[in-house]
Amino acid sequence: MNEMAAKPVIRHPSQDRILDEAEVLFANRGYAGMGLSELAEKAGLSKSSLFHHFPSKIEIYAAVLERVFERLWDLIQNSADEGGTQMEKIEGISDVMNDFLAGSPHTARLLLRSLIERDFEDSGITREELAKRHGAYVFQILQFAAKTLEEGIENGEFRKQSVGHFVQTLIGALLFHFASGENGVVGFRGSIFEPERVERRKEELKAFLRGAVLAK
C-alpha cells in the first residue's frame, strides 16, 4: 500500500538538526514560548543560518509537524504491509503509534499542543492553512484506521459502532498517556517510558481494543 503515501520531503541534514531541536522546544513551551535565538544555539547554527533554511518561525513549526506525521505514516504503512486480520491491523496501528510516541517522549505533547495551539495565527497563517502542510499524512492515517474498522464491521469480525468515535478513542488513549509524561496517572512509580512499562501499555491497550471492537 506504499502507493498511498504522500510524497516524502527531502531535507538537508542541517534542516533535520534544526527540526530535532525545534520539536522539543515547541513541545515544552508551545509556539509562543519557542525562541529562535535559543533554537539556533541548540542547533549549533547562527540565526542567519537558521533563516537560510527556514524563512520564519511558522515555517519551522509547519515543518516540524509535517515531519512527525510523515514518519508516523511511513511506520503505519510498513505495519499494514504485513497483512493479517482486521483486528491484527488495528493492533498494528496501536503498536506502531505506541512505540513511536514512547520512543520520542516529547512528540505526544507536541501533537496535543497542536490541537489547541492558536498563537501561530499572529503570523498571518490560519489553522486551516497550516493543516494543509501535513494534511495529506493526517488524512491517510485517519483514513487507514477508519477503513480497517469499516472492513472489520462489514465482514462480521467487529461489532457495529461509530467509526469516528473509535478512531478518536484510539488516538486519545495514545496521545494523552504519553503527553502526560511523568505527571500522568497517580500510582505510576518510575518512568512510563521504561521499556517494560511501554510493552505493558501496548498489551493493555490491545486488550482494551479487542473488547471494544470484536463481535461477541
Cβ proximity of 61 and 31 under 8 Å: yes
Band the pLDDT of 4: cuts 50, 70, 90.
Answer: very low
Q: Where are the alpha helices (DSSP H) in 81-126?
A: 86-102, 107-116
Cβ proximity of 206 and 91 under 8 Å: yes
pLDDT tens per residue across span 137-183: 999 999 999 999 999 999 999 999 999 999 999 999 999 999 987 66
Angle formed by the axes of helices 57-80 and 107-116, to 10°? 120
- Alpha-carbon span 17 to 39, nearest angstrom: 10
Q: Rounded to two decimals, what is the model's pTM?
A: 0.87
pLDDT tens per residue across span 188-215: 667 888 899 899 999 999 999 999 999 8
Domain ranges of the chain: 63-213
Which residues fall within 8 angstroms of residue 52, CB to CB, at 6 or more apart?
A: none
Q: For the domain covering 63-213, report its CATH number.
A: 1.10.357.10
- Alpha-carbon span 158 to 141, nearest angstrom: 20
